[in-house]
Amino acid sequence: MTGSSRPGHPRLRRTAGDRRAQLVQIGLELLPTTPVQELTIDEVARRAGISRSLLFHYFSTKREYYTAVTRAAADLLLEHLLPAPGTPAEQQVPGMLDRYVGWVETFPESHLAFVRGAGGGDPWVSEVYEETRGRLVEVALTTLDLPDDTLRRQLVLAWFAFTEDLVGSWVQEPTMTREELLALLRDVLDRLTTDDGRGR
């Protein structure tokens, strides 16, 4: 029944790489509307016009599949955020922040799905999420010319959580101008990192 998607076409045979890419792509398209872990093999296979079995040929487990989808989403985000090579150091963090807000403005549900899905309990997915956050912290600390010690990592990671939450709710209900938001976020980060983590 799932077999030949169109009666006219005898059967379409793709290369392994193409098929994998197609399946991940379908996952990405479904991501905004469905929590990653709730993607059903049936649905994905149906959209791809293939049988369930074939999906298991490429991803030996459902978890392996949606982890791949999550990683693809994370890579898209990173690619969008990371500063273009040659950007002056002092512009890198502001630029990333600005692009981050833009990203959330453009794909609010998609972003929510990624951030939320991260916590969804599955260690594999969380790992991808943590890895992404880790790489962003690294870039931030490097370009801010700050030592990469445990304390500062913790503070910047917590600031990420702050940023994700605030930007998320700000997009839903803009309580200040975009510039004020960016200034506030940068200000909090500055104070956290230059204070050596201690108040007063």
Partner DNA sequence: GTAGCTTGTTGAGCGTTGCTCAGCAAGCCG
Partner DNA sequence: CGGCTTGCTGAGCAACGCTCAACAAGCTAC
Identify the residue among 6, 8, 13, 86 touching DNA (CB under 7 A): 13
| Alpha carbons 35 and 38: distance in angstroms, whole number | 5
Identify the residue among 69, 104, 118, 137 touching its own copies (CB under 8 A): 118
Residue at token pair 């983590």? 197
Contacts (Cβ under 8 Å, ≥6 apart) of 108: 168, 171, 172
Q: How far is the CB of 196 from its own copies (least distance, A)?
A: 10
CB atoms inside a 10 Å sphere around CB 18 = 10
> Does 107 sit near its own copies (CB under 8 A)?
no
Candidate ranges 37-45, 100-108, 120-128, 187-195; the one touching DNA (CB under 7 A): 37-45
Alpha helices by DSSP H, listed for the chain, are 16-30, 41-48, 52-58, 62-81, 89-106, 108-119, 123-143, 150-172, 178-194
Residues in the chain: 200
| Alpha carbons 31 and 25: distance in angstroms, whole number | 10
Identify the residue among 5, 25, 37, 51 touching its own copies (CB under 8 A): 37
| Alpha carbons 131 and 73: distance in angstroms, whole number | 13
CB atoms inside a 10 Å sphere around CB 142 = 12
Q: Which of DNA, its own copies, none does 91 bind, CB closer than 5 to 8 A by kind?
A: none
Cβ-based nearer residue to its own copies, 21 or 161: 161
Identify the residue among 7, 8, 11, 147 touching DNA (CB under 7 A): 11
> Does 122 sit near its own copies (CB under 8 A)?
yes
| Alpha carbons 41 and 61: distance in angstroms, whole number | 10
Q: How far is the CB of 99 from its own copies (least distance, A)?
A: 19
Cβ-based nearer residue to its own copies, 54 or 182: 182
Q: Number of residues interacting with DNA: please give it, by CB under 7 A.
A: 28
Instruction: Using CB under 8 A, list all residues that contact its own copies.
Output: 35-38, 113, 115-122, 126, 150-151, 154-155, 157-166, 169-170, 173, 175-176, 180, 183-184, 186-188, 191-192, 197-200
Instruction: Using CB under 7 A, list all residues that contact DNA.
Output: 1-4, 10-16, 19, 39-42, 49-54, 56-57, 60-63
